[in-house]
């Protein structure tokens, strides 16, 4: 993470922000009828995108995967602990696929 500023000639235009950097994380997994996850220990991702193909996938925590990510859709966000994200096929005897891309925290 580094700190940056920008000044456009006026003090009122001074802006501060954070830029995050890190290694790129990417993974791909086929779903199954029981829940699984990408990582088993704490693994923080920043600025992630998850893409679903093949069949709908259900996402959630270890006890409830009720958030349905439909086929050919994406879910994105700014911070996620991958070890807490579980996924499985939304319907039994189908195979969905999840692809994830993000920046390691």
pTM, rounded to two decimals: 0.74
Show the 3-state SS of the chain: CEEEEECCCCHHHCEEEEECCCCEEEEEEECCCCCEECCCCCCEEEEEEEEEECCCEEEECCCCCCEEECCCEEEEEEEEEHHHCEEEECCCCCCCEEEEEEEEC
Break the chain into its structural domains and give their ranges. Answer: 22-104
Do residues 63 and 1 lie in contact, with contact meaning Cβ atoms separated by under 8 Å?
Answer: no
Would you give per-residue pLDDT tens digits along the chain (105 residues)? 333 444 444 444 444 444 556 788 888 888 889 999 999 999 999 899 999 999 999 999 999 999 999 999 999 999 999 999 999 999 999 999 999 989 888
**Statement: 22-104 belongs to CATH 2.60.120.10:** yes
């Amino acid at each position: 993470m580094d700190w940056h500023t920008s000044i456009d000639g006026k003090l009122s235009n001074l802006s501060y922000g954070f830029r995050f950097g890190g290694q790129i994380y990417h993974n791909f997994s086929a779903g199954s009828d029981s829940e699984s996850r990408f990582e088993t220990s704490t693994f923080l991702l920043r600025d992630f995108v998850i893409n679903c193909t093949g069949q709908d996938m259900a996402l959630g925590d270890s006890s409830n995967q009720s958030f349905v990510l439909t086929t050919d859709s994406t879910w994105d966000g700014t911070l996620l602990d991958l070890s807490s994200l579980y996924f499985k096929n939304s319907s039994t005897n189908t195979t969905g696929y999840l692809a994830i891309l993000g920046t390691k925290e």
